[in-house]
Chains A and B, each alone.
Chain A
Amino acid sequence: MSAPYLAAGLPQPAPAPDGLDAPYWEGLAKGELRLQRCRACGGWQWGPEWICHHCLSFDLGFEPVAPKGRIYSYERVWHPVHPALKDQGPYLVALVEVPQAGGVRLLGNLLGDPRQTVPFGAPVEGVFERHDHSDAPFTLLHWRLMG
């Protein structure tokens, strides 16, 4: 297994205590992207919420979505704001639009050379990064530009 994109020691994601986003994290652990969709109107929304903002139904579920999208925005971070990143150097964070899920946007690191040019609108595919050896194992979804 290749090394994680960012140095160890950053805050680790945990499912919300109220259960709202649990299906998302369970999906990632199984290598699947699951996003929230309304069973009443079919509308997508992200981040998850208890009510559908399209039709105001409470009947919401999570559906598997192909982890593909396109770059909506990105940033190259230089200044470390967390001790774990002290020796990291620059890194890329992307905001990815997912057309097959109503155009919702997801965050993630953009893998590859942190100094690469990042074209807006470029297609990207998801990469699942497992952290199995953490005391509370989790999986992150990252992105890389498609060939």
Chain B
Amino acid sequence: MNRTLRGSIAVAGVGETDYFKRGQSPDPEFKLALKAIMTACEDAGISPREVDGFASYSNDRNDPSRLAAALGCRELRFANMQWGGGGGGGSAAIGNAAAAIAGGLAECVVVFRALAQGQFGRFGQGPRRKAVFGEGAFAAPYGLMSPAQMFAMKVQRFLHEHGVGQEALRAISLAAYHHAQNNPRAVMHGRPLDEAAYDSSRWIVEPFHLYDCCLENDGAAAMVLVPAERAKDFPHVPAYLLGAAIGSHFRAGAPVHNAPDYATSTFKTLAPRLYEMAGVVPGDIDVLQSYENFTGGVLMSLVEHGFCPPEGCNDYFVKERFLAPDGDLPLNTSGGNLAECYMHGLGLNVEAVRQIRGQSSNQVPDAQVSMVISGPMVTPVSCCIFGSEAAL
């Protein structure tokens, strides 16, 4: 038996709410989730009552049973949460939903993520508790508390080991801001960024300038997944799942920065599995969305997915390569987490589908194979590849 998700499911609908600066959503988080799901169902031309499963990640607070009750779903067959924080579960939630459909557990699964940081507090700030214990006790008293601070330590080591310069990180940020200028949904639409502005921006934590760091936003995104045999029953061009991979390497979760392979985006064991399932090689990827919590994570993700050797980063990471429509590897074509919206990365999956449909605001001509890398440096991470019918 050939156990694979390749070609077994398709994305029939995608939906997003308006994106807001953190704390500025007029709607509470649960209503944002409902709106994104309604939009995705409308995009798919289905009633939300047909949805029979929900999959999310990163401890999303919007319980599938409440969603199913609110939306009047006729039956709930699948309610799935991918373990792990950060954006590492973005493509995993899609893989989990696809596995449920392929395995006969459900017929129509919504993958979603909703965030209202004004309602629930920010990611980018340290704990306000007086005492910390467990892993936090070994870090917070040293002023090591935020995601930027936790991941800078890995990236510093990688840059040191491979002699990578700041300009490589800058190229990732400039490409994202460039794409956001063509994307009216982007929070940073109308806010272009150039080399000088990047260079003169303040340090958050070395090696991250302000513009190396993701936004913090309010909003929600959702995708409707269906069996591939139904893919043509919907209004839009289907995006088929070619492959997905989830996980992390040996002892990636060893506490207090003790993973034996430390300076990594966590994708070394996933990338070969992803390409094998999808039946493609890096050179086949027409367009890439790579989760930017911080630019350093994107750099390591591209290396670990085989786009460039670690020693080649200074030559490879130049802005022009990453720009749609003509670059070798158009990257984060919506503006991504840096400049479109920090929708915990699900916006990247929505954009990957848009590229297959030909609907991106930075469309890559004739995009057939569209990849997403979710949540570098955390564990578990995940990645997936979508393809057009021609890519099947």
Contact = CB atoms under 8 A, between A and B. Distances in A.
Contacts of A13: 131-133, 137-138, 140-141
Question: What are the nearest 8 A-B pairs in CB distance?
Answer: A47-B255, A13-B137, A82-B126, A73-B157, A78-B203, A47-B256, A11-B132, A14-B131
A91 B205 CA distance: 10
Given A10-B141, A47-B258, A93-B142, A82 B131 contact: no
B134 interface: yes
Given A15-B133, A81-B149, A105-B257, A91 B203 contact: no
A16 interface: yes
A104 interface: yes
Contacts of A10: 126, 140-141, 143
Interface of B: 124-146, 148-149, 152-154, 156-157, 160, 202-206, 251, 254-258, 262-263
A127 interface: no
A72 interface: yes
Interface of A: 6, 10-17, 21, 45-49, 53, 72-79, 81-82, 85, 88, 90-91, 93, 95, 104-109, 120, 136, 138, 140
Contacts of A77: 143-144, 149, 152, 205
Nearest to B206: A76
Looking at A82, A109, A120, the one whose CB has the most chain B CB atoms below 10 A away is: A82
Contacts of A11: 126-127, 129-132, 136, 140-141, 145
Nearest to A135: B130
A93 B144 contact: yes
A14 to B, nearest CB: 4
Contacts of A72: 157, 262
Contacts of B140: 10-11, 13
Contacts of A108: 142
Contacts of A104: 258
Nearest to B159: A73
B276 to A, nearest CB: 28
A81 B133 contact: no
A46 B139 CA distance: 13
B141 A140 contact: yes
A91 B255 CA distance: 23
Of B129, B143, B148, chain A has the most CB atoms within 10 Å of the CB of B143
A53 B206 contact: no
Nearest to A129: B141
Contacts of A17: 133
Nearest to A12: B131
A88 B157 CA distance: 25
Contacts of A109: 142-143
A11 B139 CA distance: 10
Nearest to B147: A81
Nearest to B158: A73
Contact of B202 (A46, A79, A91): A79
B157 to A, nearest CB: 4
A39 to B, nearest CB: 20
Nearest to A76: B206
Given A11-B127, A17-B133, A105-B256, A79 B204 contact: yes
Given A13-B138, A75-B205, A81 B255 contact: no
Contacts of A90: 203
A98 to B, nearest CB: 11
Contact of B205 (A46, A79, A82, A107): A79
A78 B205 contact: yes
A95 B153 contact: yes
B142 A140 contact: yes
A49 B255 contact: yes
